[in-house]
Amino acid sequence: MRYTGPARRLWGATMALQLGDLRSALVEAGASPASAAKAAEEVAAYEHEFTSLRGEIAHLRTDMSDLRADLRADMSDLRAELRSEMNELSVSLRSEMNDLRVGLRSEMNDLNVSLRSEMSNLRSEMTTKFASVDADIRVLKWGQGVTFAAVLAILLKAFLH
């Protein structure tokens, strides 16, 4: 976190007090005043680095939060696009299936008409052939009757004379 304006002056005053306290404590602990001052300055430099790092971390958190929000928005947009495309595909698929169903019904009706026509033709042919066979059987019966009569007449003539 970077301090600006009055906060920077307050932070600077607070740091100066803390450095003075650290320097005094090190001198009381037996360090020379020069070593104590140098150690306090190094601690101040680390404190400044920590403060700078905290600011950068806060900035990174903000960036991450913004990225998360962007990602959520992008995912929401993608979901909407996917739903839209799926709906379009569903409508298209239903239309194609309906077209196929209509085509299949038409072909089945055509096949049914063709099959009925063929069956009617076969019935007609069978009726004609049965009529022809019936006529042939009648002719054969008539011929058999004539042959029987002729044979009977010949036998009667041969035995009666």
CA distances from residue 158 to 146, 147, 150, 161 in whole angstroms, order as listed: 18, 16, 12, 6
The helix (H) or strand (E) run that includes residue 153 is helix 33-160
Q: If you ran DSSP here, which 8-state letter would residue 30 be given?
A: T
pTM: 0.44
pLDDT digits (tens, 9 = 90+) for 104-124: 999 999 999 999 999 999 999
Name the more confident of 3 and 131.
Answer: 131
Counting Cα atoms < 13 Å in the Cβ hemisphere of 114 gives 6
Which pLDDT band holds residue 18 (cuts at 50, 70, 90)?
low
pLDDT digits (tens, 9 = 90+) for 130-156: 999 999 999 999 999 999 999 999 999
CA geometry: angle 85, 86, 92, nearest 5 deg: 90
Query: Per-residue pLDDT for 17 more than 70?
Result: no
| Residue extents of the structural domains in the chain | 6-160
At residue 9, the pLDDT reads: 43
The pair of structure tokens assigned to 26 is 């090190």
pLDDT digits (tens, 9 = 90+) for 28-71: 899 888 888 888 888 888 888 888 899 999 999 999 999 999 99
